[in-house]
Amino acid sequence: MKCDEVKPVCGPCAKGNRDCVYGHAKSALDARLQTIPALSTLPTQHWAQNKQRHSPGSEPDLGQLPWNQTTTAAATSYGDSQDSTPVSSVLEPHRWFGLLAEDCPFDDNDYFTARRNEMMRLQAQSASNSPTARASLPDTDSGYPTPQMSHLNSPHLGLPPSLMPSMAPRSSVPNGDERELWQAPITLTDHQICLFSTFVNHLSLWLDLYDPLKHFSTMVPQLALSNEGLMKAILALAARHLSIKPQDCNVRPDRTEAVQYYSETLQYLQRAMKYESYTRSPDIIATALIVSAYEMIDGAGKSWERHLKGVFWIQRSQENHGESGGLRQAVWWAWLRQDIWAAFRERRKCFSFWRPKKSYSMMNQYEIANRVVYLAAQAVNYASEEERKAGEANVQQRMDNADTLLNMLDDWKRHLSIHFQELPIPKSSNSDAAFQIHWINPSPFACAMQYYHFARILLMIHRPAPGGYLEYSNRNSTIAESIDVIGGIAMTIKDHAATILSTQALYCAALYTSDPSKQAALCKMIEEHQDRTGWPVIQLNEELRMEWSCQGPL
């Protein structure tokens, strides 16, 4: 439960008969985080030097576009230069720690104390006959090893020495593996096994949409069997979804159970993030992404945005990006798809500033599908309030930016493999429908085509049209064509994972159509999509009707 900030003891703490320290702890942490230099204050010459070292590929360089020219100097260490130094491998995870403080009280948890004490007992038992080993053991009265702070003294942090000890201290284990403090075998009850299987068989596929190795349905469950925080995040997500959309395992948890697992996940993270090995592990990025997916279930809100930022910071600290390979790459693309939807809804820019380097000739079909997700993110950036206002000062530059992105979309389409080609359907199968069916199999690649048209709609809507009626008419024709393709593809989407992405494209198409028959058809498909997946819980159709009532002609 969140703090109601009643003084001197808040309501939740008074009800639970425990010391009220949340407000004080949070204020202290906020004060420490405020002393960390903003990224925008880092030297700008680092950006220029890395720009000179970067050799552009065959695709246009998005770094030359105005919406990326304000990117901070630190950004260039993220995917732009192989020999650049990351700002910090410690700073960003602790920023997420600050975000977590807003969601969960600082509560005592004996998990790590028990793990430490057990390790120390085993070490003492095995080394009881060795004077040297006995001398190296920590004081058993304290129950904790002496924190080792040397790795925090990094010149890249830019922190004064007086601040270093006030950061959440990292712990090390003498003569032992630090990982054993935050890793241990997990035993599940029958009820929890049902929740776990719901994630493995259903929800993980949402995150694995363009991942041929299916890391979230294969590797992540294995990691969770030895990581309490990751397992609790999985159980929280499954319980929340089952509370909205019950499945076949006869488990119908209420939202209270999901909130409990969610709270336990955050408490685990607060404790585990003091270990450097944990902040560099794949466990933390998988946990962070699943926590973000938990917030995504409700569709929007500042809480979700905080966790999207958290995943961004943690991935940056590990130098993960869309071409880093393995689970780290899988998390990055799953996170970007979430951030695109959140940014589009909030009319803000996406958090990512990474730029791909791989040429189309070196890509497989899944990587090609991911590339259009990246281009859609650039279109969302272009449509953001920030870029729209910045473009008012230079209309010609804003038109050129849109044309550059439209050319990049066309270049993407020219490089499509046969996996994205339409399959034939009977002509009479939709004679009375508002849209002509477009069947692309498998459905994830069909969604890639929807995202292509989603991006085109945003660019055409927000590109200035000073050419008069003819240009205005041609623009509307292009928008209408993209709306028709999105609607026609959506009629063939059936599996849940693809339905999530299709819902986003349908919402965009419906937002910018003025044809009443198409509006009704799109609303019906959105309703069917939401009924199939249970996402999002908000009624998108009601939002669309309110938007239509406020809109003039395109």
pLDDT tens string, the chain, 554 residues long: the values are: 556 666 677 766 766 666 676 444 444 434 433 433 332 333 333 333 333 433 333 444 444 444 443 333 333 333 433 333 344 444 555 555 555 545 554 444 444 555 455 555 555 555 555 444 333 333 333 332 322 323 323 333 232 333 222 334 444 554 447 888 899 999 999 999 999 999 999 999 999 999 999 999 999 999 999 999 999 999 999 999 999 988 766 677 888 999 999 999 988 988 898 888 998 999 999 999 999 999 898 766 677 888 898 899 899 889 999 999 999 999 999 999 999 999 999 999 999 999 999 999 999 999 999 999 999 999 999 999 999 999 999 999 999 999 999 999 999 999 999 999 999 988 766 656 889 999 999 999 999 999 999 999 999 999 998 877 788 889 999 999 999 999 999 999 999 999 999 999 999 999 999 999 999 999 999 999 999 999 998 889 999 999 898 865 54
Q: Tell me how many domains the chain contains.
A: 2
Q: List Cα–Cα distances, 247 to 33, 201, 516, in angstroms.
A: 43, 11, 35
What is the rounded distance in angstroms from the CA atom of residue 280 to the CA atom of residue 135?
Answer: 30
Residue 18 lies in a domain: yes
DSSP summary character for residue 86: P
Same domain, 539 and 393: yes
What is the rounded distance in angstroms from the CA atom of residue 207 to the CA atom of residue 334?
Answer: 5
Q: Residues with Cβ < 8 Å from 69, sequence gap 6 or more?
A: 63
CB 223 within 8 A of CB 278: no
CB 298 within 8 A of CB 237: no
Half-sphere exposure at residue 372, Cβ-oriented, CA atoms within 13 angstroms: 29
Residue 499 lies in a domain: yes
Residue 30 lies in a domain: yes
DSSP summary character for residue 425: -
Same domain, 246 and 337: yes
CB 105 within 8 A of CB 22: yes
For residues 172, 176, 182 and 186, what is the CA-based torsion angle, rounded to 10 degrees? Answer: -170
Same domain, 382 and 413: yes
Same domain, 213 and 326: yes
What is the rounded distance in angstroms from the CA atom of residue 529 to the CA atom of residue 289?
Answer: 23
- Give the number of other CB atoms < 10 A from CB of residue 370: 25
Residue 175 lies in a domain: no
Same domain, 342 and 474: no
Q: Residues with Cβ < 8 Å from 382, sequence gap 6 or more?
A: 67, 401, 402, 405, 458, 459, 462
**Residue 259 burial class via C-beta count within 10 angstroms: exposed 0-12, middle 13-18, buried 19 and up:** middle
CB 371 within 8 A of CB 412: yes
What is the rounded distance in angstroms from the CA atom of residue 486 to the CA atom of residue 264?
Answer: 41
What is the rounded distance in angstroms from the CA atom of residue 342 to the CA atom of residue 182?
Answer: 32
DSSP summary character for residue 2: -
What are all long-range contacts of 197-204, with beta carbons under 8 Å and residues at least 24 apart?
Answer: 197/249, 198/238, 198/241, 198/242, 198/247, 198/249, 198/251, 199/234, 199/235, 199/237, 199/238, 202/241, 202/247, 202/496, 203/237, 203/238, 203/241, 203/293
Same domain, 301 and 440: no
DSSP summary character for residue 336: H
Angle between helices 255-272 and 91-101 (to 10 degrees): 140
CA-closest candidate to residue 323, choices 46, 88, 497, 80: 80
Same domain, 257 and 366: no
Same domain, 381 and 517: yes
* Beta-sheet strands, E only, within 407-503: 422-423, 439-440
What is the rounded distance in angstroms from the CA atom of residue 155 to the CA atom of residue 498?
Answer: 45
- Find residue 422's DSSP bridge partners: 440
> Which of 323, 352, 381 finishes a domain?
352
Same domain, 332 and 385: no
Q: For every residue of 165-198, which 3-state class applies, written as one string?
A: HHCCCCCCCCCCCCHHHHCCCCCCCHHHHHHHHH
> Which of 352, 379, 410 finishes a domain?
352
Same domain, 17 and 116: yes
Same domain, 346 and 368: no
What is the rounded distance in angstroms from the CA atom of residue 320 to the CA atom of residue 329?
Answer: 7
- Quick check: helix, strand or coil at residue 349? coil
Residue 172 lies in a domain: no
- Find residue 440's DSSP bridge partners: 422
Residue 484 lies in a domain: yes
> Which of 324, 352, 380 finishes a domain?
352
Tokens 């080792």 locate to 148
φ, ψ for residue 154 (rounded to 5)? -100, 130
Residue 145 lies in a domain: no
Strand pairing category for 439-440 and 422-423? antiparallel
**DSSP readout, 133-145?**
HHHHSPPTTTSSP
What is the rounded distance in angstroms from the CA atom of residue 90 to the CA atom of residue 316?
Answer: 10
Q: How far is CA 209 from the centre of its chain?
A: 14
Look at the chain and count its residues: 554
Domain span including residue 466: 362-550
Residue 241 lies in a domain: yes
Q: What is the pTM of this model?
A: 0.74
Tokens 């999002």 locate to 536
Same domain, 257 and 111: yes
Q: What is the pLDDT of residue 128?
A: 53
What is the rounded distance in angstroms from the CA atom of residue 297 to the CA atom of residue 258?
Answer: 12
Q: For residue 75, what are its two tokens?
A: 């950004």
Residues 301, 302, 304, 309: is their CA dihedral positive or negative? positive
Q: What is the pLDDT of residue 30?
A: 42
Tokens 């004490």 locate to 117
